[in-house]
Amino acid sequence: MAEFSLLEKILIPTYNDPAQIAAGEVEFDYEKCSGCSMCVEVCPADSILFENKKPSLKPSGQNECIACGDCVALCPEGAIRVTKGYRYTKYFRTIDQGAPKPPSLFADD
């Protein structure tokens, strides 16, 4: 398998590049939240802080929420909602366009 050159390694965008993706966001309803901390445990992106028995989304730069909805599904109090989906930006946006369809040899199929 061909190896990438150093220049290619630098120039080719990756999912770890914050310029290429925009993380999701969730909101907490503190009137409903009981402070059980289960949302913190379940988050696969480790994006929920828990301080003073209150969950909150980590600040921009540390938040890697993928808007999976696991925390919403698990919360026993119905206190969480996803307010923003995970989105591709810049270069990755070009591979995120159009409806999904099976691969084809012909560009316009």
In the complex, the residues that contact ligand SF4 under the rule CB under 6 A are: 24, 26, 28, 33-39, 42-45, 47-48, 55, 65-71, 75, 77, 79-80, 82
Burial of 75 (C-beta count, 10 Å sphere; 0-12/13-18/19+):
buried
Measured from the CB atom, is 13 or 72 closer to ligand SF4?
Answer: 72
Q: How far is the CB of 58 from ligand SF4 (least distance, A)?
A: 9
Residues 33, 52: Cα–Cα separation, whole Å: 12
Q: How far is the CB of 84 from ligand SF4 (least distance, A)?
A: 10
Q: Which amino acid is at 106?
A: F
Q: How far is the CB of 57 from ligand SF4 (least distance, A)?
A: 6
Kindly give, in sequence order, each residue whose CB lies less than 8 Å from that of residue 96, ignoring residues fewer than 6 positions away: 87, 88
